[in-house]
Amino acid sequence: MHELSIAHSILSIAERSFPAEATGFIHAVNIQVGELSSIDTEALLFAFSAIRSGTVLERAVLQIETIPGEARCSDCGTVYHLDSFGKACPHCQGYLVNILQGKELKVLSLSVEEEEPATHA
Ligand SMILES: [Zn+2]
Protein backbone atom coordinates (compact mmCIF):
# COMPACT_ATOMS: atom_id res chain seq x y z
CA MET A 1 0.00 0.00 0.00
CA HIS A 2 1.45 3.25 -1.28
CA GLU A 3 0.12 5.43 1.55
CA LEU A 4 1.69 3.23 4.22
CA SER A 5 5.19 3.82 2.87
CA ILE A 6 4.45 7.55 2.71
CA ALA A 7 3.38 7.47 6.35
CA HIS A 8 6.68 5.73 7.19
CA SER A 9 8.64 8.43 5.34
CA ILE A 10 6.80 11.12 7.28
CA LEU A 11 7.69 9.32 10.48
CA SER A 12 11.38 9.08 9.63
CA ILE A 13 11.46 12.77 8.69
CA ALA A 14 9.83 13.59 12.03
CA GLU A 15 12.28 11.39 13.92
CA ARG A 16 15.23 13.05 12.22
CA SER A 17 14.01 16.59 12.86
CA PHE A 18 12.79 16.14 16.40
CA PRO A 19 15.69 16.21 18.85
CA ALA A 20 15.75 13.37 21.35
CA GLU A 21 16.45 15.77 24.21
CA ALA A 22 13.41 17.91 23.39
CA THR A 23 11.01 18.37 26.27
CA GLY A 24 7.85 18.86 24.27
CA PHE A 25 5.99 16.60 21.91
CA ILE A 26 4.91 16.84 18.30
CA HIS A 27 1.23 17.67 18.15
CA ALA A 28 0.89 18.12 14.41
CA VAL A 29 2.67 17.31 11.18
CA ASN A 30 1.80 19.72 8.41
CA ILE A 31 2.09 18.38 4.90
CA GLN A 32 1.14 19.43 1.39
CA VAL A 33 -0.34 16.93 -1.00
CA GLY A 34 -0.89 17.79 -4.64
CA GLU A 35 -4.19 16.95 -6.28
CA LEU A 36 -2.29 15.11 -9.03
CA SER A 37 0.00 13.16 -6.71
CA SER A 38 -2.33 10.12 -6.75
CA ILE A 39 -2.23 9.98 -2.97
CA ASP A 40 -5.41 8.96 -1.25
CA THR A 41 -5.49 11.31 1.74
CA GLU A 42 -8.07 9.19 3.60
CA ALA A 43 -5.79 6.17 3.29
CA LEU A 44 -2.80 8.28 4.30
CA LEU A 45 -4.58 9.50 7.44
CA PHE A 46 -5.46 5.92 8.26
CA ALA A 47 -1.90 4.68 7.69
CA PHE A 48 -0.55 7.55 9.78
CA SER A 49 -2.74 6.70 12.76
CA ALA A 50 -1.84 3.03 12.38
CA ILE A 51 1.92 3.53 12.65
CA ARG A 52 2.28 6.41 15.10
CA SER A 53 1.84 4.57 18.40
CA GLY A 54 5.09 4.26 20.34
CA THR A 55 6.83 6.80 18.09
CA VAL A 56 7.57 10.54 18.31
CA LEU A 57 4.27 11.01 16.50
CA GLU A 58 2.20 9.25 19.11
CA ARG A 59 0.29 12.43 19.97
CA ALA A 60 0.47 14.03 16.55
CA VAL A 61 -2.25 14.66 14.05
CA LEU A 62 -1.61 14.83 10.33
CA GLN A 63 -2.70 18.10 8.78
CA ILE A 64 -3.00 17.88 5.04
CA GLU A 65 -3.11 20.92 2.79
CA THR A 66 -4.24 20.07 -0.73
CA ILE A 67 -2.48 21.81 -3.60
CA PRO A 68 -4.76 22.11 -6.63
CA GLY A 69 -3.48 20.78 -9.93
CA GLU A 70 -2.53 23.40 -12.48
CA ALA A 71 -1.34 22.95 -16.04
CA ARG A 72 -0.26 25.14 -18.92
CA CYS A 73 -1.24 24.05 -22.40
CA SER A 74 1.84 23.55 -24.59
CA ASP A 75 -0.07 24.60 -27.70
CA CYS A 76 -1.89 27.77 -26.73
CA GLY A 77 -0.42 28.65 -23.34
CA THR A 78 -3.70 28.59 -21.44
CA VAL A 79 -3.26 27.91 -17.73
CA TYR A 80 -6.06 25.84 -16.29
CA HIS A 81 -7.13 23.77 -13.34
CA LEU A 82 -6.25 20.12 -13.90
CA ASP A 83 -7.85 17.85 -11.34
CA SER A 84 -6.85 14.64 -13.07
CA PHE A 85 -4.55 13.59 -15.88
CA GLY A 86 -5.85 13.24 -19.41
CA LYS A 87 -8.07 16.31 -19.38
CA ALA A 88 -7.88 18.41 -22.52
CA CYS A 89 -7.13 22.12 -22.62
CA PRO A 90 -10.44 24.01 -22.29
CA HIS A 91 -9.32 26.52 -24.93
CA CYS A 92 -7.90 24.44 -27.80
CA GLN A 93 -8.69 20.86 -26.66
CA GLY A 94 -4.96 20.05 -26.77
CA TYR A 95 -3.59 17.26 -24.62
CA LEU A 96 0.01 18.44 -24.47
CA VAL A 97 0.43 20.14 -21.13
CA ASN A 98 3.08 21.17 -18.67
CA ILE A 99 2.14 20.44 -15.09
CA LEU A 100 2.79 23.60 -13.07
CA GLN A 101 1.77 22.31 -9.71
CA GLY A 102 -0.23 19.58 -8.03
CA LYS A 103 2.28 16.72 -7.90
CA GLU A 104 3.89 17.70 -4.64
CA LEU A 105 4.20 15.76 -1.47
CA LYS A 106 6.00 17.86 1.09
CA VAL A 107 6.43 17.81 4.81
CA LEU A 108 6.21 21.49 5.67
CA SER A 109 6.63 21.60 9.41
CA LEU A 110 6.19 19.92 12.72
CA SER A 111 4.20 21.71 15.39
CA VAL A 112 5.79 21.10 18.75
CA GLU A 113 4.14 21.76 22.05
CA GLU A 114 5.99 22.16 25.32
CA GLU A 115 5.15 19.59 27.91
CA GLU A 116 3.29 21.19 30.81
CA PRO A 117 5.41 20.84 33.91
CA ALA A 118 3.68 18.63 36.41
CA THR A 119 2.22 20.71 39.19
CA HIS A 120 2.35 19.46 42.71
CA ALA A 121 0.30 20.96 45.50
ZN1 LIG B 1 -4.64 24.92 -25.35
Question: What pLDDT, on a 0 to 100 scale, did the predictor assign at position 19?
Answer: 81
- Least reliable range by pLDDT among 44-48, 59-63, 66-70, 111-115: 111-115
Question: What pLDDT, on a 0 to 100 scale, did the predictor assign at position 118?
Answer: 66
Sheet holding 79-81, edge to edge: 79-81, 70-73, 97-101
Sign of torsion over alpha carbons 13, 15, 17, 23: positive
- Burial classification of residue 47, based on how many CB atoms lie within 10 Å of its CB (0-12 exposed, 13-18 middle, 19 or more buried): buried
pLDDT tier at 120, thresholds 50, 70, 90: low
Domain edges within the chain? 2-68+103-113
How many Å lie between the centroid of ligand 1 and the Cα of residue 34? 22
How many Å lie between the centroid of ligand 1 and the Cα of residue 102? 19
Mean pLDDT value of segment 80-107: 94
Output Rg (C-alpha) for the chain, integer angstroms. 19
**Average pLDDT of the chain to the nearest whole number:** 92
Q: Which tens digit of pLDDT belongs to each residue from 11-40?
A: 999 999 988 788 899 999 999 999 999 999
How many Å lie between the centroid of ligand 1 and the Cα of residue 87? 11
pTM for the full model?
0.83
Query: What CATH code is assigned to 2-68+103-113?
Result: 3.30.2320.50
How many Å lie between the centroid of ligand 1 and the Cα of residue 19? 49
